[in-house]
């Protein structure tokens, strides 16, 4: 079943959901990257919760006018208006009051969501409009998705991507250094508002598939995951879009392959699985890479201390230090230095004396700041500077390097 779902062989509805979820994942990943780089991840939570009153009011208005209260375009329009009002409230609170942004987010989120729950309760008492199932916008509901619904999601996601491509340079600059962007004459407030507007658009588009509660995860998890794999912002944007699209496609396929599996939560869990893998296995920023760097650093410390001990004819009691010296060919099993080990030990001791001179001389203040007990002094000072320091130290010159 899963293989058939991956090949889009499980029927019309499953295919629509998979395509819609993939497009939504790409749009959410790309858009959420700028929110993540701007360090405003929680803003997406406020925007998503602010959509609920608009959904409920749109439903009530459409039913009152004799229409179908579950018309997706009308519901999304209502949610967009409500989210925009919430975004404006958040912006006003952060600009014109002493509230910190997190406090303003908490206020907007709780008030709008509370109002939405009240309106949702009122809707449940209504006898017309086929209101049953409106709660699906909380966690998403893809059952019975129509071609028109998929087209709304696809067009909305594509429009958000196009706007991101147009605004990517100013949004990147504002995300990294808003003061510099303002100095260059960029309208930082408007760019911030445009960024929030794109997030709002993706949130509204994603309500049908993942719901207003879980859309936050689809906006944040892909860029956070992509950040583990790259230091460049353009690569992070690209990777976030790919991760988001992959999570949407695989999550929709898994959901379609088994009965009663909710699509939105499965998509989020797939995205989290990719995040967990990246957290541990990313080559530079992952946990495993950090552990390996720690072990390599530890080995260098032991080797350095062992060489200094050999240079001063001190006994070596640490088994790891002795094992590393033996493996490098610097010492025998009984701890006696080899010819190569004596040369390297003399060099290590000489370097320590050199560093002492450097750290005591204000003329070498910049070089002294790089001292960590392990760095080769040749990587910091020129040969002429080292010769001058050796002359000040005295003793034999020309120690093998």
Compute φ and ψ for 283, nearest 5 degrees: -65, -30
Q: Average the pLDDT over each of 55-64, 119-128, 292-301 and give the range with the smallest value.
A: 119-128
Residues 6+ apart with CB under 8 A from 55: 75, 78, 79, 82, 116, 134, 137, 207
The per-residue pLDDT for 228 is 93
Q: Whole-angstrom Cα distance, residue 354 to residue 233?
A: 41
Residues 6+ apart with CB under 8 A from 372: none
Tokens standing for residue 98: 């002493």
The per-residue pLDDT for 98 is 84
Residue 243 contacts residue 226 (beta carbons within 8 Å): yes
pLDDT band at 5 (very low <50, low <70, confident <90, very high): low
pLDDT band at 276 (very low <50, low <70, confident <90, very high): very high
Q: Please give the share of the chain, as a percent, with pLDDT higher than 70.
A: 90
pLDDT band at 238 (very low <50, low <70, confident <90, very high): very high
Neighbours of 396 (CB within 10 A): 9
CA-nearest of 86, 75, 74 to 196 is: 86
pLDDT band at 399 (very low <50, low <70, confident <90, very high): very low
**Which of the 8 DSSP states describes residue 377?**
G
pLDDT for 222-231, tens place per residue? 999 999 999 8
Q: What is the pTM of this model?
A: 0.78
Q: Whole-angstrom Cα distance, residue 157 to residue 162?
A: 9
Residue 187 contacts residue 205 (beta carbons within 8 Å): no
Average pLDDT of the residues of the chain: 84
The per-residue pLDDT for 396 is 54
Q: Does position 197 have pLDDT exceeding 70, yes or no?
A: yes
The SS3 assignment for 338 reads: coil
pLDDT band at 129 (very low <50, low <70, confident <90, very high): very low
Q: At what angle do helices 101-124 and 51-64 cross, to 10 degrees?
A: 30
Q: Quick one: 197 exposed, middle or buried, by C-beta within 10 A (0-12, 13-18, 19+)?
A: middle
CA-nearest of 62, 56, 21 to 264 is: 21
Residues 6+ apart with CB under 8 A from 237: 30, 33, 34, 168, 223, 226
**In this predicted model, which residue has the larger pLDDT, 354 or 400?**
354
Q: Whole-angstrom Cα distance, residue 96 to residue 75?
A: 31
Most confident of 41-45, 159-163, 321-325: 321-325
Q: Please give the share of the chain, as a percent, with pLDDT higher than 90.
A: 15
pLDDT for 167-193, tens place per residue? 888 888 888 888 888 888 888 888 888
Go through the domains of the chain in sequence order and give each one's CATH number. 2-262 (1.10.3470.10), 288-393 (no CATH)
Overall average pLDDT of the 185-210 stretch? 83
CA-nearest of 380, 362, 382, 384 to 371 is: 380
Most confident of 56-65, 270-279, 300-309, 380-389: 270-279
> Which parts of 100-196 are beta strand (E)?
none
pLDDT for 57-116, tens place per residue? 888 888 888 777 777 778 888 888 998 898 888 888 888 888 888 888 888 888 998 998
pLDDT for 357-394, tens place per residue? 888 888 888 888 888 888 888 888 888 888 888 888 87
Residue 131 contacts residue 124 (beta carbons within 8 Å): yes
CA-nearest of 207, 187, 206 to 195 is: 187
pLDDT for 22-31, tens place per residue? 888 898 899 8
| Chain-centre distance for alpha carbon 400 | 48
pLDDT band at 234 (very low <50, low <70, confident <90, very high): confident
Q: Whole-angstrom Cα distance, residue 22 to residue 154?
A: 9
CA-nearest of 276, 3, 335, 34 to 170 is: 34
pLDDT for 252-264, tens place per residue? 888 878 777 788 8
CA-nearest of 120, 114, 118 to 135 is: 120
Overall average pLDDT of the 330-339 stretch? 86
Q: Whole-angstrom Cα distance, residue 364 to residue 388?
A: 12
The per-residue pLDDT for 10 is 64
Angle at 356 between CA 353 and CA 359, to 5 degrees: 150
The SS3 assignment for 7 reads: coil
Overall average pLDDT of the 211-229 stretch? 88
pLDDT band at 210 (very low <50, low <70, confident <90, very high): confident
Angle at 198 between CA 195 and CA 204, to 5 degrees: 145
pLDDT for 69-84, tens place per residue? 777 778 888 888 998 8
Neighbours of 38 (CB within 10 A): 19
Q: Whole-angstrom Cα distance, residue 197 to residue 202?
A: 9
The per-residue pLDDT for 41 is 78
């Amino acid at each position: 079943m899963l293989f058939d779902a991956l090949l889009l062989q499980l029927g019309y509805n499953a295919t629509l959901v998979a395509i819609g979820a993939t497009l939504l994942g790409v749009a959410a990943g790309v858009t959420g990257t700028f929110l993540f780089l701007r360090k405003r991840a929680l803003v997406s939570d406020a925007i998503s919760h602010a959509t609920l009153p608009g959904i409920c009011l749109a439903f009530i208005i459409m039913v009152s006018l004799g229409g179908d209260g579950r018309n997706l375009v009308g519901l999304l329009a209502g949610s967009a208006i409500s989210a925009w009002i919430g975004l404006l409230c958040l912006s006003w609170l952060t600009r014109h009051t002493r509230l910190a942004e997190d406090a303003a987010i908490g206020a907007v989120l709780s008030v709008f969501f509370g109002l939405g729950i009240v309106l949702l309760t009122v809707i449940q008492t209504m006898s017309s409009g086929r209101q049953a199932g409106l709660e699906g916008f909380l966690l998403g509901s893809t059952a019975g998705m129509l071609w028109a619904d998929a087209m709304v999601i696809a067009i909305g996601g594509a429009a958000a991507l196009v706007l991101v491509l147009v605004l990517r340079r100013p949004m990147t600059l504002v995300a990294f250094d808003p003061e510099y962007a303002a100095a260059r004459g960029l309208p930082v407030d408007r760019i911030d508002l445009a960024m929030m507007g794109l997030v709002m658009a993706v949130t509204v588009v994603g309500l049908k598939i993942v719901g207003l509660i879980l859309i936050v995860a689809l906006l944040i998890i892909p860029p956070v995951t992509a950040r583990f794999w790259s230091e460049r912002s353009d690569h992070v944007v690209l990777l976030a879009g790919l991760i988001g699209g992959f999570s949407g496609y695989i999550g929709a396929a898994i959901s379609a392959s088994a009965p009663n599996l909710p699509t939105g939560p499965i998509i989020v869990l797939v995205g989290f699985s990719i995040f967990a893998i990246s957290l541990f296995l990313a080559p530079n920023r992952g946990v495993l890479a950090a552990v390996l760097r720690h072990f390599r650093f530890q080995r260098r410390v032991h080797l350095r201390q062992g060489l200094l001990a050999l240079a001063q004819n001190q006994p070596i009691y640490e088994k790891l230090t002795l094992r590393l010296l033996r493996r490098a060919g610097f010492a025998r099993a009984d701890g006696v230095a080899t010819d190569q080990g004596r040369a390297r030990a003399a060099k290590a001791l000489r370097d320590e004396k050199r560093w002492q001179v450097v750290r005591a001389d204000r003329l070498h203040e910049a070089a002294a700041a790089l001292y960590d007990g392990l760095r080769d002094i040749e990587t910091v000072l020129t040969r002429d500077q080292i010769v001058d320091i050796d002359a000040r130290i005295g003793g034999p010159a020309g120690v093998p390097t």
